[in-house]
A and B are shown apart, each in its own frame.
Chain A
Amino acid sequence: MRWIAERVQRHRESLMVLGSFAASLLVGGGIFALYGVHPLEAYGHMLSGALGDTDALVATLSRMVPIALATLSIAVAFNGGMWNIGAEGQLYLGAFAAAWVGLTLPGLPGMMLLPLGLAAGIGAAALWAWIPGILSLKRGLNVVVLTIMLNSLAIYFTSALATGPYAGTRVSSGATDRIPEAMRFMHLSNFSTLNTGIFVALVAVACMALVMLCTVPGYDWRICRLNTRFARYGGVDVVRRQIWAMLLSGAFAGLAGSLLVMGDHYRFRVGISPGYTWTGMILAMMVAYHPLGGMAAAFVYAVMSSGALEMELMTDVPVEVVEIILGTAVLFVTAGFALSNRWANRLRED
């Protein structure tokens, strides 16, 4: 008994997330039932549509890459107490910067173009995150407001470039021409845009997770989020830590954008991200900014959204149900944390 209680206490956050997710699946089941579809049948189609064969699995993984990077981008910032709501704009700017390298320096060899494209994408996005970061840390401006405003600026600025000076000549409007072949990440199958960029993403995610979970900066970030004043009192260089959280968050958004250009589409286009970082924000919050939890959540999301197509085909339940399930899960997690805090306060004898 005691052993179980201790385990529950130690893993209470993960248990809460898993429980909330299970509960939201039940709610989803209820919705399926309303459509007159057996919940298990609907979920069955979802699973087979996402993981049923190699092609399905590849499509799911290709969906997962930008979502996973966006989730980590948000997780890094939020976990460090920097509310970076501007990852979407950073992603767009990074994506365009990568495309711009390809369009302006087409003659360079791949050995140089590839790293240059990545560096430009990551660098531009990180810089775009640095601006609100430094303004908030040094000048006390509100980081949420700043980052939201910078979103629109970046998205419309890149749109203007892609429809104006950099508009493609061999493509319908709203996109640039293709980037040179030398800087493309090779597609791994004919049925999806999954490409070798996934390995870059994998390495980046692994490094970041290691830093967040096992190192001193990771600890400092967490404390900055929990209580900035306590961190400063304890001797943490809060400004330096938090500006790095912002830079890395921007870098991951930029990497997601660069890979979309250099791996998936081979060009920049208007609306290149259907709101990946907003989804990433939901996923990151759902797992309380845990990097590995975030990756698991991104995988589950990819499975559900990619499998939803087959589900819709077979059962007439619209794909949007996936969003409902996800939203419910976030709701449950939030409620769960609030409740557990309340119980903790009750038990406290003062």
Chain B
Amino acid sequence: MTYLRMERVTKRFGSFVAVKDVSLEIAPGTIHAVVGENGAGKSTLMKCLYGMHAPEKGAFYLADRQLLIRSPRDAMKYGIGMVHQHFMLVPSASVAENVVLGDEPRRGWGFDGSRASREIRELSRKFGLEVEPDMPVHALPVGLQQRVEILKLLYRKASILIFDEPTAVLSPGEVDSLFAILRGFRKEGKTVIFIAHNLEEVLAISDTLSVLRQGELIDTVPRGEVTPKELAQMMVGREIALPVLEEASSGDGKTLLSLNNLSVRDDWGGWAVQDLSLDLQEGEIFGIAGVTGNGQSELEEALWGLRQIEKGSLLLDGEPLQSANPRERRKKGMAYIPEDRLKTGLAPLGDLEDNLLMGYQYAPDFSRRGFLRRGAVRSFAARILQRYGVAAASPRVQSGTLSGGNMQRLVMGRELEQNPKVLMVSQPTRGVDVGGISAIHDHLLRLRSQGRGILLISSSLEEILALSDRVGVMVKGRFVAVLSRREISKERIGALMLQGRGESAEGGTSHAMDR
């Protein structure tokens, strides 16, 4: 049965055709995934449906009635709602205030705050979206903020819910609870459109999949009839093999970086990392696995000198490093690809040259007696863009306008060109599509084969399994186990990651969900 129909939708931006002649049918009460690489046109297509973009050609039909959508408000009227990748919330306002904003319940002339929180409480209970209506939004973790976004749609009685890469910002536990919520919607007869590029997730949750590539619809298939490999091929248009580490390092190489009983505090004065020790050897990738929020962010900040090391010592090549600032760390041969590209890894408002020069500006190749060598900077930037395949119109565009994958290539190129002895890399492929993942993994493996040491912090088990010589599983700031390549398996690490979760904040919320 057809419910929502898109017919021959085309959307251009200038001379660039973002969506080309796409026709799509979506059945009611299903979870329909729209997959494709970064820039395949998934978001654009959905933004057309949601009234944020006006398509040049094409039409939308709901139960065979043509829809007139010129703005998100129009779309809402037809029961179509969208949860954006970047949340649109007022941080200082409460959950209930955020949800009702624009359609507030009134009492006389005034805003009826107690009715708002009552209604939100009922709504969240009905759909299993436990969240406290009177909490200010900025105090909530990302997973709960997303629920606020979802509640906004439910409050407006949306029957078609579009999710734009909802899992990109979530930890594995949060992903599980989101999926439980989505299945609940299906049971209620709501239709879910799910934009994604993570194949495992797509196959786990959706009933039907539509693949887009370079703005064109490649195919629409039921879930049972396609393997992950075929799906990846459809997305990329060629066969791709994700690189995997073939043989573990012997484990008797020289120690490059060593952490001895390191302890680090979190922002509130508690211990984020406690008594953590590890030795990173040359030619080795040491993976740190764990559910996000178990001290990984604090650990990487401390290792880079952005956060104080309270106890313990840190040695690079046997020399103490804990009091060195980031500039000295770079000089001594360390490089760092941070978890949060937009906040830490880039200046989104600066152009690509500004972003690529960072960390090199003091080197004699790029400045002489304090004066920058413009020509050198320009050719260096051009070289990185080319070598690491950063797709950008020119080196002068703002880095914040790049797609997630291209931003990551930019940061990666900048850090790898330093030719570091030790690379610390955190969540390298979060928000990056299949093609991008294989390129990034290739780079990491190449660095390893050159005898460098890599500290890989990732919440993606697949990534840890594919790349690590050894794995430390981090729970609440400590390693619960350090395993060699022979000992690791998905099940084993997964089980270790969940140890003691019941008491942690992360675990608490997701358990509430499971009930």
- Residues of chain A having any CB pair with chain B under 8 Å: 6, 9-10, 214-220, 222-223, 226-227, 229-237, 344-350
**With the chains together, A299 CA to B41 CA distance in Å?**
48
**With the chains together, A223 CA to B372 CA distance in Å?**
14
The answer to whether B393 and A233 have CB atoms under 8 Å apart is no
B450 within 8 A of partner (CB): no
**With the chains together, A344 CA to B346 CA distance in Å?**
17
The answer to whether A222 and B354 have CB atoms under 8 Å apart is yes
The answer to whether B401 and A348 have CB atoms under 8 Å apart is yes
Most buried by B among A231, A232, A233, A348: A233
B403 within 8 A of partner (CB): yes
> Which residues on the B side are within 8 Å of A348 (C-beta)?
401-403
Main DSSP-derived SS at the A contact region: helix
Most buried by B among A232, A348, A350: A350
Complex A-B: 10 CB contacts under 8 Å: A216-B361, A216-B371, A230-B344, A233-B338, A234-B358, A235-B330, A235-B359, A348-B402, A348-B403, A350-B403
The answer to whether B327 and A236 have CB atoms under 8 Å apart is yes
- A-facing residues in B322-367 (Cβ within 8 Å): 325-330, 336, 338, 343-350, 354, 357-359, 361-362, 367
B13 within 8 A of partner (CB): yes
The answer to whether B326 and A232 have CB atoms under 8 Å apart is yes
With A235-B326, A236-B327: A227-B348 Cβ-Cβ less than 8 Å: yes
The answer to whether B394 and A350 have CB atoms under 8 Å apart is no
- Residues of chain B having any CB pair with chain A under 8 Å: 13, 18, 38-39, 41, 43-44, 53, 85, 164-165, 304, 306, 325-330, 336, 338, 343-350, 354, 357-359, 361-362, 367, 370-372, 393-394, 396-398, 400-404
B329 CB to closest chain A CB (Å) equals 8
The answer to whether B372 and A219 have CB atoms under 8 Å apart is yes
A14 CB to closest chain B CB (Å) equals 13
Contact among A217, A234, A347 for B359, CB-based, below 8 A:
A234
The answer to whether B327 and A230 have CB atoms under 8 Å apart is no
The answer to whether B347 and A223 have CB atoms under 8 Å apart is yes
The answer to whether B346 and A227 have CB atoms under 8 Å apart is yes
Q: Name which residue of chain A comes closest to B52, CB basis.
A: A346
The answer to whether A6 and B13 have CB atoms under 8 Å apart is no
**With the chains together, A347 CA to B39 CA distance in Å?**
11
**With the chains together, A6 CA to B393 CA distance in Å?**
9
Most buried by B among A10, A230, A347: A230
Q: Name which residue of chain A comes closest to B402, CB basis.
A: A348
> Which residues on the B side are within 8 Å of A219 (C-beta)?
354, 357, 361, 372
> Which residues on the B side are within 8 Å of A345 (C-beta)?
401
**With the chains together, A234 CA to B404 CA distance in Å?**
20
B257 CB to closest chain A CB (Å) equals 18
